[in-house]
Chains A and B, each alone.
Chain A
Amino acid sequence: MPTVNTIQKLWEDMPQKRLEKNQGALDYICALASQANVNISRWNIKTTFGKDDEGNLMTDPRDLNKAFYAKLLEVKPRPARSADVKSDRALLAALRRHAKNMMATEIRDAKADYDRQLRTSQDRYRQYVMALTNATQANLKLERLQSDTELSKRAETIADSIADVLEGGFWTEPVVHNGALWLQTAKPITLTYKKASANIDVSVNLGRFAAKLTMSDRPSVLVYPFAKNKATTSSRFYHPHVNTGGDICWGNVREKALNHLTKWNFGKVLGLLQGLLSSYSDGNPYRPLQDFTTAGAFGAVPRDWRYPPKPAPMEDDE
């Protein structure tokens, strides 16, 4: 039977031109078989595609196509290979093993991904819970701060701290005037300073002072001399640690004093101020204590800067 592999024997004695035509037809048939994925090795090429008894093949592609398709319809389709594969237990077992190995990697990756996602979600949940807790606490604090009870409580706390200071006896007569809390020292303040090596031995009665605590969102404190105070310097200082604007040189308690002021802790501020006004530090005063004189040489405290303040009379804000 002249098959695709043997039909060329029929062409051995053919003229070259006819041989080439037949060979071209055979190539075309092979290409058709390849494109259609059909095994034609057992096909009788001569009877299927032959043009005559001499073994010549059709040359028109359309004739070849038609013959190819007609033959294809005659050929019984091969049983599906998949049926063989599925019934072969050994092969199936091997495929399962292979699939298992393939899946092991995917399972490992999926597990790692699951763990990662779980960790991420747990972290986020923890953060969420923490943020929610913080928000709740902030809200509670806000509600507490906005309540009248808290306001009264705060006012009472400030009042208590001032009352504690007043009990000490250094400060007296607290009044509120133009949004500021004024207190006076109960007695004149006398400072002494002795330094034998410099032949200094002074004791100066500086008089009484008033503290003005401004009650605003940025609290401040100033110190004023009384109008009756005699002790002063040529540059009109009335206390070694208070400048002519009433600002206090807090020295080593500066941080502490500012911190108490910021927190409206007036009791603590007044406590620190008491210590500062009642003691002389020769380290870094605005003016040395020995510069102060009570002889009246430099005149009285100017009216625009003394206690009680000018021009409004003292009265409660209420």
Chain B
Amino acid sequence: MATVIASVLGAQPQQLEGVETVRDVKQRLQLTNYTANVNGTAAKDDTRLSNDDFVALAPAVKGGNANS
């Protein structure tokens, strides 16, 4: 279990205690459809977390071209 800093895009970062994976962070914040990166690197849901990791969460957005 780790204590991490979670930042949801556009909101004040907060500290989360007792999380093990990125999935835990998403569930805790109820943001299951968001993408995550840990310490600046894209991370999957089962990425394990360590103390003081910075988990940034952003809505999953897929860009498209002008015709899509």
Which A residues fall within an 8 A CB radius of B? 28, 31-32, 35-38, 61-63, 65-66, 68-69, 72, 77
Contacts and interface: CB of A to CB of B under 8 A. Distances in A.
Q: How many B residues touch the partner, as a band? A: 10 to 19
Interface string B1-18: 000010101111101000
B52 A72 contact: no
Given A31-B40, A61-B40, A77 B12 contact: yes
A63 B52 CA distance: 7
Given A31-B40, A61-B39, A61-B40, A68 B9 contact: no
A264 to B, nearest CB: 73
Given A62-B50, A77-B12, A28 B40 contact: yes
Given A28-B40, A62-B50, A77-B12, A35 B5 contact: no
Contacts of A72: 12-13
A69 B15 contact: yes
Given A31-B40, A61-B39, A62-B39, A68 B54 contact: yes
A69 B5 contact: yes
Given A35-B7, A35-B58, 13 more contacts: A28-B39, A31-B40, A32-B54, A61-B39, A61-B54, A62-B51, A62-B52, A65-B5, A65-B52, A65-B53, A68-B5, A72-B12, A72-B13
A72 B53 CA distance: 15
Given A62-B52, A62-B53, A65-B52, A36 B39 contact: no
A199 to B, nearest CB: 96
A314 B9 CA distance: 107
Given A62-B51, A65-B52, A69-B15, A36 B7 contact: yes
